[in-house]
Amino acid sequence: MTFKSDVVFDEIKERINTEKELAKKVSTAFRITVTASDGTVKKWTVDTKSDPAYVGDEDREVEVEINIKDEDFMKIAQGKMKPDQAFMQGKMKLKGNITKAMKLKTILDPSMLKSKL
């Protein structure tokens, strides 16, 4: 199964490794579990605390765990849905430090993502 969100994670990886200040500003480790429409699950670790920042499938200690459907993650990445809106509607489940979870908006800013989503 191909995940639509793979392109977003590739973009996040590029951004946090070229924009060092962005990684420092976010300074949080996330595990984002994305579920495709067929039920296939893919886990991503986004660790902006490490140097260099890391994006991949390595299992690391994280401060925030996020569970979301691939299509909803894409809506957030495209600016069609706000992360807090997804959370309030039950489309995104959070576990861990909620204040740090809000920093996800910084790296998922649709205006900053270069790829054609």
For 11-67, write each residue's pLDDT tens digit.
Answer: 999 989 998 899 999 999 999 999 999 999 999 999 999 989 999 999 999 999 999
pTM of the model: 0.91
Residue 72 · residue 86 · CB < 8 Å: yes
Helix (H) / strand (E) element for 30: namely strand 29-35
The dihedral region occupied by 45, where left means phi > 0, alpha psi between -120 and 50, and beta the remainder, is: beta
Report d(CA 36, CA 21) in Å as an integer. 32
Residue 34: phi, psi to the nearest 5? -110, 130
Name the band, by pLDDT with cuts 50, 70 and 90, for residue 91.
very high
Q: Which CATH architecture has domain 6-107?
A: 2-Layer Sandwich (3.30)
Q: Which pLDDT does position 24 carry in this prediction?
A: 92
